[in-house]
Copies of this chain bind each other. A is one copy, B any other.
């Protein structure tokens, strides 16, 4: 991936080619994404256009946290596994859109639902040492989803990852989720023609 970019735009391109093979794909809520066999992940300095070879391209951007307090951020940063670990050959891409009712909440109301009532930050932190996570914001970019979250983990961590998403999906926060897909992936040599 070369030198890490500061706050890159990230394009997730689903289609016939790519470094990540789709092993399972589920529509949790709302409209499905067209099925694909592979996903490629591209980092860009500027806003990327659609990948012409792809069936769909979802674009987000790494941004600042909107809810995490200093104590929570320090606890998370101290243990957060990085992306790109050799053993982390499995991944998940979870695009989410929240409802207008969520976005009509004020900052303190969103924080109360997400953190105090749904434990999103503490649940995530509990798994952060083994499950790498990168949140891309896409709401203000005009796409179909508000957030694109990418996770990487070792194959034996997939049951723990299933627990993590099940716990969040049962939370009050998730009652505000109106579209969600869950795409599971395994790292492979790219099948894109050179």
Distance A4 CA – B144 CA, assembled complex (angstroms): 20
Is A142's CB under 8 angstroms from B66's CB? no
Is A64's CB under 8 angstroms from B103's CB? yes
Is A142's CB under 8 angstroms from B47's CB? yes
Is A69's CB under 8 angstroms from B142's CB? no
| Total copies of this chain within the assembly | 2
Distance A84 CA – B66 CA, assembled complex (angstroms): 31
**For residue A147, which residues in chain B have a CB less than 8 angstroms away from its CB?**
none
- A46-B142 CB under 8 A given contacts A69-B106, A69-B107, A108-B70: yes
| A137 located at the interface, meaning its Cβ lies under 8 Å from any Cβ of chain B in the complex | yes
B-contacting residues, A2-48, CB 8 Å: 9, 46-47
**Pick the contact of A73 from B73, B106, B142 — CB < 8 Å?**
B106
| A63 located at the interface, meaning its Cβ lies under 8 Å from any Cβ of chain B in the complex | yes
**For residue A63, which residues in chain B have a CB less than 8 angstroms away from its CB?**
139-140
**For residue A107, which residues in chain B have a CB less than 8 angstroms away from its CB?**
65-69, 111
Distance A78 CA – B103 CA, assembled complex (angstroms): 19
| A127 located at the interface, meaning its Cβ lies under 8 Å from any Cβ of chain B in the complex | no
Can you list 20 residue pairs at the A/B interface with Cβ under 8 Å? A9-B142, A47-B141, A47-B142, A61-B140, A63-B140, A64-B103, A65-B106, A65-B107, A66-B66, A66-B107, A68-B107, A69-B107, A69-B108, A70-B105, A70-B108, A70-B109, A107-B111, A137-B140, A140-B140, A141-B141
A contacts, CB < 8 Å to B: 9, 46-47, 61, 63-70, 72-73, 103, 105-109, 111, 137, 139-142
